[in-house]
Amino acid sequence: MSLQTNYLGMTLRTPLVVSASPLSQNLDNIKRMAEAGASAVVLYSLFEEQLMLERYELHHHLTHGADSFAEALSFFPEPEFLHFGLDAYLEHIRRAKQAVDIPIIASLNGTHVGRWTESAKRIAEAGADALELNIYSIPTDAELTGAEVEQNYLDIVAAVKEAVEIPVAVKLGPFFSSFANMAKRLDDAGADALVLFNRFYQPDFDLEALEVRTNVLFSRSSSIRLPLRWIAILYGKIRAQLAATSGVHSAIDALKLLMAGANVTMLCSVLYERGLPQIGLIERAMVEWMDKHEYVSVAQMRGSLSQLHCPDPTAYERALYVQAVHTFKPQTL
């Protein structure tokens, strides 16, 4: 039996990939992920805001006291200050590559074209096997059109693809007026894979303090429904590969997404809640299920329940909605 799959030009031992999170900030954690059976690790994201802040702080330190006497060396920043977030991130990539023998995928998180390309170049030079662009955009300008938002995504992908030779995946949310069309356009722009979907963290209110609070809510297995549907619809219709993220907590979750058409399934919340050994437990449960149901490989099952191969393709469209509404039987109140 083979769990082998291909993602971003790399042959992976299994489809189980650790998604971007603070877990990978610790090199020992990356080693433990590899030991537990992860086939690749997406590093924590380097945020556009970090790079902007550091450039501002450097400018401040280099210009503060500029009109004082030339020997005022105390005005110069300490050497460690020059150890930028980007430099530290690049060093983390190098150390991770030396520490494990599985692919290391870097992650950039931002929303503007010009701030990606130079960072992407340096990440590629540091030895990352691939790059994931986490485009986390929440347009709040009422004058900004949907077409302009979409074009920004396309411009980012095109610019980064031109700047680097390593494979580039695009992680994005589902909030487009026509997601299938947007997926096709990202594919045409050069994206090697689409990672579906980014989780948008929503604010909450503290009514006692009268403050807006942020908190992270872990996914649940039910969270796979949205990526499951869109991966199944897109499978076989675009060249870009498909990665599923959000909601993979068990072997069954992973298997469903593979049957929809995913090349890999990414893990995060389950690792926070139950620990890194869950990677191996999920893999073993996948093997047991596949053996029981006489599957010999991931390749055999991938896309078998996609819209392309489904006996009733309308199940992914309005027909399923109508059927669900008419067949739902609520409990007696």
**Tell me, what's the pLDDT at 213?**
85
| Cα 292 from Cα 301, distance rounded (Å) | 14
Can you read off the two tokens belonging to residue 256?
């469903």
Contact status, residue 21 vs residue 268, Cβ threshold 8 Å: yes
Q: How far apart are the first and last CA of the chain?
A: 49
CB atoms inside a 10 Å sphere around CB 318: 8
> Can you list the positions of beta strands (E) in 112-268?
130-135, 168-172, 193-196, 204-206, 211-213, 241-244, 264-267
Put simply, whether the predicted model's pTM sits higher than 0.75 gets the answer yes
Contact status, residue 156 vs residue 116, Cβ threshold 8 Å: yes
**Tell me, what's the pLDDT at 188?**
97
- Phi first, then psi, for residue 150 (nearest 5°) are -65, -40
Residue count of the chain: 333
CB atoms inside a 10 Å sphere around CB 111: 17
CA 45 to chain centre: 9
Using DSSP, state whether 283 is helix, strand or coil: helix
| Cα 116 from Cα 58, distance rounded (Å) | 19
- Phi first, then psi, for residue 47 (nearest 5°) are -90, 140
Contact status, residue 115 vs residue 48, Cβ threshold 8 Å: yes
**Among candidates 41, 22, 176, 170, which has minimal Cα distance to 109?**
170
| Cα 254 from Cα 256, distance rounded (Å) | 6
**Tell me, what's the pLDDT at 110?**
74
**Among candidates 89, 129, 79, which has minimal Cα distance to 109?**
89
User: Position of tokens 């494979």?
Assistant: 167
Contact status, residue 107 vs residue 128, Cβ threshold 8 Å: no
CA dihedral (144, 147, 149, 153) in degrees, to 10, reads -160
User: For helices 48-63 and 85-99, what crossing angle results, to 10°?
Assistant: 130
pLDDT tens for the chain, 333 residues: list them: 899 999 999 999 999 999 999 999 999 999 999 999 999 999 999 976 555 544 444 343 334 444 444 344 443 344 343 334 889 999 999 999 999 999 999 999 876 776 778 899 999 999 999 999 998 777 878 999 999 999 999 999 999 999 999 999 999 999 999 999 999 999 999 999 999 998 777 788 989 999 988 777 787 888 899 999 999 999 999 999 999 998 999 999 999 999 999 999 999 999 999 999 999 999 999 999 999 999 999 999 999 999 998 877 777 776 566 666 667 677 666
**Tell me, what's the pLDDT at 198?**
87
